[in-house]
Amino acid sequence: ESKGMIGNIYSMGLALQALEASRDFYAPRDWDCAQAFAVVTNHTFELPMAIAQLLPALVGTSYLDAATLNCDAPTDLCSSLQTHRIPRGMMIQPGASHTPQESQDITVHYSIINKLQGTPFHYNISVTVPGDSTLLEVLERAEKKDPENFSFKTEQTFWGPMVVSIHGLAASENDRTYWQFRSSGKPLDEGVGSYRPKHSEHIQAIFSTY
């Protein structure tokens, strides 16, 4: 139903590790991980944490086996699940480099919404950024264009920068509140430092509770 996605793109690495390690503890059935691996092979992972969690599943082993790995031997993807070798698209040949391509500017519509705490507010802005910009760069452009309404703060985490305050309204563990980013009504599956909006996409930052 989720077309191979297990949770979200951040949880895929751990989910694939769990399926590999626990497959013998559940009712026996054929497990076809082709869809799940299609998700990860079609996605560009930039965060070291996400890559580190995904690597064990890609090589069909765990970090506990690192001391006994034979690096000269051919490695199969998810070997015990009878899948295929690591797709060429995921491997970078030695000496190869990616030449950045020029991208056209795009317009992103951005809204911040608070109906949860204090005085409600709802501000909208449209910003123009290079086509390969991250959502964090969109936020920075919005702040530069209208700092009175779109100022924000971030904290660095293992998963990249996390927005903890917008328009002076800070998330709180005690109040169980946070800023959730959505597109087309659905939460984004990446953080602001990785997600790259499309042209004319409408991103909403909604003050939420969990």
Annotated binding site for cyanocob(III)alamin: which residue ranges? 8, 53, 188, 210
Phi, psi of 66 (to 5 degrees): -60, -35
Where helices occur in the chain by DSSP H, the ranges are 12-22, 34-41, 48-59, 135-145, 147-150
In whole angstroms, give the CA distance from residue 100 to residue 82: 36
Bridge-partner residues for 130, per DSSP?
105
In whole angstroms, give the CA distance from residue 107 to residue 199: 5
**For residues 149 and 112, is the Cβ–Cβ distance under 8 A?**
yes
Q: Is 178 exposed, middle or buried (0-12, 13-18, 19+ CB in 10 A)?
A: middle
Q: Residues annotated in the binding site, as ranges? A: 8, 53, 188, 210
